[in-house]
C-alpha cells in the first residue's frame, strides 16, 4: 500500500511539473525590438547609451528581450525618430524630444527649456514633482510612452567664427541650435538652423552656418568644429541640462508583460546614468585637448545673458497664451526650479564655488 501511495504522489509531482513548465515559459516570452537613434555611431556616449541599454536588457531577461540599435540614417533620419516610433516603423527610439517642438512647443520640456533646470533638478522634477506624468500625457498624443534616458549636463554655448561681444553681434548670425531654443535666439536677430549631428560640420565648412552648438567638449571634439570656428562660448543657457528620452510605441508598451516593463525601466535608468557619468568623466580632458588645438574659450557677456533671458520670458508668455499644455508644464517646472534654488544656493552652489576657487591652477 505504501509503495502504491508513493508512486501516486510521485506521479502527481511529475504532472505538476509538466503543468508548471509551460506557465514559466509563457511568462518569459521572446521579444525582438528595433531601436532607432537620433545619433551617429561616432557619438559613443549618446549612441553608446543605446548599446548599453540593449546589453542590459538582454542580461536582465536571460536574452529573452533582444534590442537591436540603429544609428541615425540607418532606418530613418535622426530627426524623424518620433515619427518612426509613433507609426510603429520601429518599436522604440532614443532621441531629444525638443527636436519635435514644431508639432507642439511643449516638447521642449522633454529635453531642455532655455533657462530651465540643471540635470539633478530635472530628474527630481520628473520623479517627484509630477513631471514624468505631465510629459507622458504629451507623448501619449503621439502614440508613444517615454522614459527619460540620460542627461548631458550643462552644455557649452557653441563655436563661432567671430567673437560675440554684444547683442548686436548676434544679428543675422546663421546659428545651428537644437530644438525650441531657436525661437528665443531669433528674437535677438539670430537666424536659427536645426541640423542633425552628422550634417553640421559640412554646413559650417561651406559657410552655410556662421556658428554651431552641439553638446560639450567630448562630442564637439569628435565632430571637429575647432578646425573651423575657434571661439568657444559658454554657457549653453538654452540647455542647462538636456535629457534624452527612450520613446516606445504605446501599443507595443502596453503589450509588454509587467515584469518586462519593470526590466525596461531599470535598464533605461542604468543606461541613462552611464551616459551622464561618462560625460562628466570625459569632458574635462577633452576641453584641455580643444584648448591645445586652438579653441578660445569665452563667456557670453552679462548683457547677452540678460537679453537672452528677457527674450525667453517673452516667448514663454506668448506661447502660454495659446497653448494650455505648455502653460501647465511651464508653471510646474518654474515653480519647482524657484523653490529648488532656495536650497541649491545655500548648499550645492556655495560648496561648488568654494571648491572651484580652491582648485590648484595648472
Cα dihedral 113→286→51→92 (10° resolution): 20
d(CA 199, CA 215): 15
Mean pLDDT of 259-274: 97
DSSP state of 93: E
d(CA 301, CA 169): 12
d(CA 90, CA 88): 5
pLDDT digits (tens, 9 = 90+) for 281-323: 999 999 999 999 999 999 999 999 999 999 999 999 999 999 9
According to the model, what pLDDT value does residue 123 have? 97
d(CA 266, CA 123): 15
pLDDT digits (tens, 9 = 90+) for 105-159: 999 999 999 999 999 999 999 999 999 999 999 999 999 999 999 999 999 999 9
According to the model, what pLDDT value does residue 98 have? 94
- Which region among 7-11, 25-29, 122-126 has the lowest average model confidence (pLDDT)? 7-11
Q: Mean pLDDT over all residues of the chain?
A: 92
According to the model, what pLDDT value does residue 33 have? 98
d(CA 50, CA 34): 11
d(CA 325, CA 319): 10
Residue scoring higher pLDDT (202 or 17): 202
According to the model, what pLDDT value does residue 6 have? 40
d(CA 86, CA 67): 18
According to the model, what pLDDT value does residue 300 have? 97
C-alpha pair distances (Å), 340 with each of 51, 336, 351:
34, 6, 16
When pLDDT is cut at 50, 70 and 90, the band that residue 260 belongs to is very high
d(CA 9, CA 1): 12
According to the model, what pLDDT value does residue 179 have? 77
291 three-state secondary structure: helix
Q: What are 289's three cell numbers? A: 585637448
Contact 96, 307 (CB under 8 A): no
d(CA 237, CA 195): 19
Pairing status of strand 144-151 against strand 243-249 = antiparallel
Residue scoring higher pLDDT (196 or 220): 220
Is residue 50 over pLDDT 60? yes
d(CA 108, CA 99): 8
Kindly write down the DSSP assignment for every residue of 309-332, as one continuous string.
HHHHHHHHHHHHTT-HHHHHHHHH
C-alpha pair distances (Å), 269 with each of 53, 78, 263:
9, 22, 10
Mean pLDDT of 61-82: 97
Is residue 5 over pLDDT 50? no
List of domains in the chain: 30-154+241-281 (3.40.190.170), 158-238+294-336 (3.40.190.10)
d(CA 309, CA 115): 7
Mean pLDDT of 321-340: 97
Pairing status of strand 243-249 against strand 92-95 = antiparallel
pTM: 0.89
C-alpha pair distances (Å), 188 with each of 168, 175, 213, 305, 330:
8, 12, 17, 11, 22
Is residue 19 over pLDDT 50? no
Tell me how many helices (H) and strands (E) the chain has.
Answer: 14, 11
71 three-state secondary structure: coil
Amino acid at each position: 500500500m505504501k509503495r502504491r501511495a508513493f508512486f501516486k504522489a510521485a506521479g502527481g509531482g511529475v504532472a505538476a511539473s509538466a503543468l508548471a513548465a509551460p506557465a514559466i515559459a509563457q511568462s518569459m516570452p521572446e521579444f525582438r525590438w528595433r531601436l532607432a537613434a537620433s545619433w551617429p555611431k561616432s557619438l559613443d556616449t549618446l549612441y553608446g547609451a543605446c548599446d548599453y541599454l540593449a546589453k542590459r536588457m538582454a542580461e536582465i531577461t536571460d536574452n529573452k528581450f533582444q534590442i537591436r540599435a540603429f544609428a541615425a540614417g540607418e532606418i530613418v533620419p535622426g530627426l524623424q525618430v518620433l515619427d518612426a516610433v509613433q507609426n510603429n516603423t520601429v518599436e522604440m527610439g532614443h532621441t531629444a524630444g525638443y527636436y519635435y517642438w514644431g508639432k507642439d512647443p511643449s516638447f521642449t520640456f522633454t529635453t531642455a527649456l532655455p533657462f530651465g533646470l540643471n540635470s539633478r533638478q530635472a530628474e527630481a522634477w520628473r520623479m517627484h514633482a509630477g513631471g514624468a506624468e505631465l510629459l507622458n500625457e504629451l507623448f501619449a498624443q503621439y502614440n508613444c510612452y517615454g522614459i527619460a534616458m540620460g542627461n548631458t549636463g550643462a552644455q557649452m554655448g557653441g563655436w563661432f567664427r567671430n567673437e560675440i561681444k554684444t547683442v548686436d553681434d548676434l544679428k543675422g548670425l546663421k546659428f545651428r541650435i537644437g530644438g525650441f531654443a531657436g525661437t528665443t535666439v531669433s528674437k535677438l536677430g539670430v537666424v536659427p538652423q536645426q541640423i542633425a549631428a552628422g550634417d553640421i560640420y559640412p554646413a559650417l565648412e561651406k559657410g552655410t552656418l556662421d556658428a554651431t552648438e552641439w553638446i560639450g567638449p567630448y562630442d564637439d571634439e569628435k565632430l571637429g568644429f575647432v578646425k573651423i570656428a575657434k571661439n568657444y562660448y559658454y554657457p549653453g543657457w538654452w540647455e542647462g541640462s538636456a535629457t534624452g528620452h527612450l520613446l516606445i510605441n504605446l501599443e507595443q508598451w502596453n503589450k509588454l508583460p509587467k515584469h518586462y516593463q519593470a526590466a525596461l525601466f531599470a535598464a533605461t535608468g542604468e543606461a541613462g546614468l552611464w551616459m551622464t557619468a561618462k560625460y562628466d568623466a570625459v569632458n574635462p580632458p577633452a576641453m584641455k585637448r580643444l584648448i591645445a588645438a586652438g579653441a578660445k574659450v569665452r563667456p557670453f557677456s552679462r548683457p547677452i545673458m540678460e537679453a537672452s533671458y528677457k527674450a525667453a520670458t517673452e516667448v514663454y508668455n506668448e506661447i502660454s497664451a495659446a497653448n494650455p499644455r505648455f502653460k501647465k508644464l511651464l508653471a510646474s517646472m518654474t515653480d519647482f526650479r524657484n523653490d529648488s534654488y532656495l536650497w541649491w544656493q545655500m548648499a550645492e552652489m556655495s560648496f561648488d564655488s568654494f571648491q572651484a576657487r580652491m582648485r590648484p591652477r595648472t
